[in-house]
């Protein structure tokens, strides 16, 4: 049984060959495009379940490819970054990627991330709900937040998932690894910084939301 099609947009064919072995073993079918233009075409023709997107591509770079994907599709995108310093850029520019891995990565880890992303996209709450925290209403159906001044803010997909998890557990202190596990769906040592980066983005967009840092532990909202 096929687990679905994965689109890899990556100019290094060695990576593509290696990944295609791993993904096929797991029941996926990997299709490969060597640049952004070809990738965008493949996306339209083949409707993959997940896109793996390299940042450093010839022609249109990965950031721009991600933006273009987002303007047309909700398909989960995992960015392949060459340097740690690119992570802040990926998150900070809000290009709408769902996850990222830093090269060199293990194919096994990437497969795990793909499965986690697929699990998450299937687990999105079916019954939309609105929860209140400190005068902010958080709407899981529209995936937006209304501030006390009635401004509507739309966080990125991942920021929203993080916020929603915090709000559903309002008043509780949640550790970074708990949040990583719940929102990102894996527990990857050394990447709890991801949580901090997303919290920073949320605070920037929702400056008065009662999202506190509990030193040495993690984060808490409201309560
Ligand atoms: Ca590259």
pLDDT in tens, 59-104: 999 989 998 998 888 788 998 988 766 666 666 556 778 888 888 8
Domain boundary among 122, 152, 179: 122
* pLDDT interval class at 139 (50, 70, 90): very high
Domain boundary among 122, 155, 174: 122
Residue 205 backbone dihedrals phi, psi, to 5 degrees: -80, -30
Q: Are residues 113 and 135 in the same domain?
A: no
Distance from the CA of 205 to the center of ligand 1, in angstroms?
32
Distance from the CA of 29 to the center of ligand 1, in angstroms?
21
Which residue reads 């933006």 in tokens?
67
- Alpha-carbon distance values, 82 to 57, 85, 90, 114, 175 (Å): 11, 9, 12, 18, 28
Distance from the CA of 191 to the center of ligand 1, in angstroms?
22
Q: Are residues 31 and 65 in the same domain?
A: yes
Residue 75's pLDDT is: 87
Distance from the CA of 11 to the center of ligand 1, in angstroms?
5
The residue that leads in pLDDT, 102 or 165, is 165
Q: Are residues 110 and 136 in the same domain?
A: no
Distance from the CA of 95 to the center of ligand 1, in angstroms?
18
Residue 186: give its domain's CATH number: 1.10.10.10
Residue 1's pLDDT is: 45
The span from the CA of 178 to the CA of 155, in Å, is 21
Query: What is the average pLDDT score of the chain?
Result: 87
Domain boundary among 87, 122, 157: 122
The residue that leads in pLDDT, 171 or 181, is 171
The percent of residues above 90 in pLDDT, for the chain, comes to 55
Q: Are residues 116 and 31 in the same domain?
A: yes
The span from the CA of 144 to the CA of 106, in Å, is 35
Q: Residue 74: exposed, middle, or buried by beta-carbon count in 10 A (0-12, 13-18, 19+)?
A: exposed
Range of the domain at 205: 130-221
């Amino acid at each position: 049984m096929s687990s679905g099609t994965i689109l890899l947009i990556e100019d290094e064919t060695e990576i593509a060959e290696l990944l295609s072995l791993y993904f096929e073993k797991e029941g996926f079918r990997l299709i490969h495009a060597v640049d952004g233009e070809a990738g965008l075409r493949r996306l339209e023709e083949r409707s993959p379940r997940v896109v793996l997107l390299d940042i450093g591509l010839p022609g249109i770079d990965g950031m721009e490819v991600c933006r273009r994907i987002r303007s047309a599709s909700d398909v989960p995108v995992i960015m392949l970054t060459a340097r740690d310093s690119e992570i802040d850029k990926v998150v900070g520019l809000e290009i709408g990627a769902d996850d990222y891995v830093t090269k060199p990565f293990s194919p096994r880890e990437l497969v795990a991330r793909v499965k986690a992303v697929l699990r998450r996209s299937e687990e999105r709450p079916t019954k939309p709900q609105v929860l209140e925290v400190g005068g902010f209403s958080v709407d899981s159906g529209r995936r937006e937040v209304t501030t006390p001044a009635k401004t509507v803010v739309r966080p990125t997909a991942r920021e929203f998932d993080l916020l929603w998890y915090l709000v559903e557990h309002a008043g509780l202190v949640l550790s970074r690894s708990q949040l990583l596990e719940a929102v990102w769906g894996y527990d990857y040592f050394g990447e709890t910084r991801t949580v901090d980066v997303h919290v920073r983005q949320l605070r920037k967009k929702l400056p008065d939301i009662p999202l506190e840092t509990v030193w040495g532990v993690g984060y808490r909202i409201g309560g």
